Amino acid sequence: MPTYVVATTDCSTSITTVSWDSARGASSYTVYAVSTWGSNSTCTNTDTTCSFPDLDCGQNYTITVTAEDDNCVSLTSAPISVTTDPCPQSDLQVTLDCSTDSALISWTPGRGTLIYNASAKGFDVNHQVSCSTPGSACNVTNLHCGSRYQVSVRGEGLICPSQSDDWIALKTAPCPPTQVSIRSSCDSDTVSVSWKTSQGSVSYMAVADNSEGHRVTCNTSDLACDITGLQCGQTYQIYVSGVDGDCIGSRSEVHILETAPCVPQNVQTILECQSTVLNVTWQQKGQARRYHTTVRSSDGQVLGCDSNTTFCQVPNILCGLTYSVTVVAYSQTCNSSQSSVQHVTSGTHIYIKYFIFQYLDVSNISFLHSSAPCPPDAIFAVLDCDLNTVSVSWDSSVDGVLYIAQAFYSNNNNDYYMCNTTETSCDITVTCGMDYNVSVVPLRDGCTGKNSPVQYITAGLSHLMKL
Please indicate, yes or no, if residue 334 is contained in any of the structural domains. yes
Asked if the structure places residue 184 within a domain, the reply is: yes
Count Cα neighbours of 273 within 13 Å in the Cβ-side half-sphere. 20
The CATH number of the domain holding residue 214 is 2.60.40.10
Question: Is 428 contained in some domain?
Answer: yes
The beta strands (E) that lie in 379-432 are given as 379-384, 389-394, 402-408, 416-421, 425-429
- Structural domain of 333: 265-345
Does 290 fall in a domain? yes
What whole-number distance in Å separates Cα of residue 402 and Cα of residue 321?
16
Looking at the structure, do residues 204 and 277 belong to the same domain, yes or no? no
| One domain, residues 167 and 182 | no
Question: Looking at the structure, do residues 232 and 308 belong to the same domain, yes or no?
Answer: no
* pLDDT beyond 60 at 144: yes
pLDDT, position 458? 75
- Judgement on whether residues 127 and 37 belong to the same structural domain of the protein: no
Q: What angle do CA 254, 259, 260 make, to 5 degrees?
A: 160
DSSP 263-295: PPEEEEEE-BTT-S-EEEEEE--S--SEEEEEE
The verdict on residue 354 lying in a domain is no
Query: What average pLDDT does range 23-34 have in this prediction?
Result: 92
Residues 247 and 161 in one domain: no
* Residue 466 CB burial class (10 angstroms; 0-12, 13-18, ≥19): exposed
Rounded Cα distance, 31 and 190, in Å = 84
Query: Same domain for 77 and 95?
Result: no
- Number of structural domains (the chain) is 5
Say if residue 408's pLDDT is above 60. Answer: yes
The answer to the question of residue 360 being in a domain is: no
Q: Which of 428, 420, 427 is nearest to 361 (CA)?
A: 420
Q: Count CA atoms closer than 13 A to 124's CA, side-chain side.
A: 11
Are 120 and 190 in a shared domain? no
Render pLDDT for 219-257 as a digit per residue (tens, 0 to 9): 999 999 999 999 999 999 999 999 999 899 999 999 999
Distances (CA, A) of 165 to 107, 150, 155, 162: 13, 12, 11, 10
Q: What is the mean pLDDT of the chain?
A: 88
> Of the spans 114-118, 155-159, 430-434, 462-466, which averages the highest pLDDT?
114-118
Q: Is the pLDDT of residue 98 over 50?
A: yes
Query: What pLDDT, on the 0 to 100 scale, is given for residue 460?
Result: 57
User: Does residue 307 belong to any structural domain of this protein?
Assistant: yes
For residue 450, what pLDDT is reported?
87
- Model confidence at 459, pLDDT cuts 50, 70, 90, reads low
Say how many residues make up the chain: 467
Answer whether residue 303 is part of any domain.
yes
Same domain, 246 and 186: yes
Specify whether 419 is located in the same domain as 442.
yes
pLDDT in tens, 31-81: 999 998 888 999 999 999 999 999 999 999 999 999 999 889 999 999 999
**CA torsion, points 227, 185, 240, 225, in degrees to nearest 10?**
50
Task: Clarify whether residues 382 and 453 are in a common domain.
Answer: yes
Confidence of residue 346 (pLDDT cuts 50, 70, 90): low
Last residue of one domain, picked from the residues 147, 171, 195: 171
Shared domain check, 186 and 106 = no
Residue where a domain stops, chosen among 239, 258, 277 = 258
Residues 192 and 119 in one domain: no
Pick the last residue of a domain from 314, 345, 376: 345
Residue 185: which H helix or E strand, with range? none
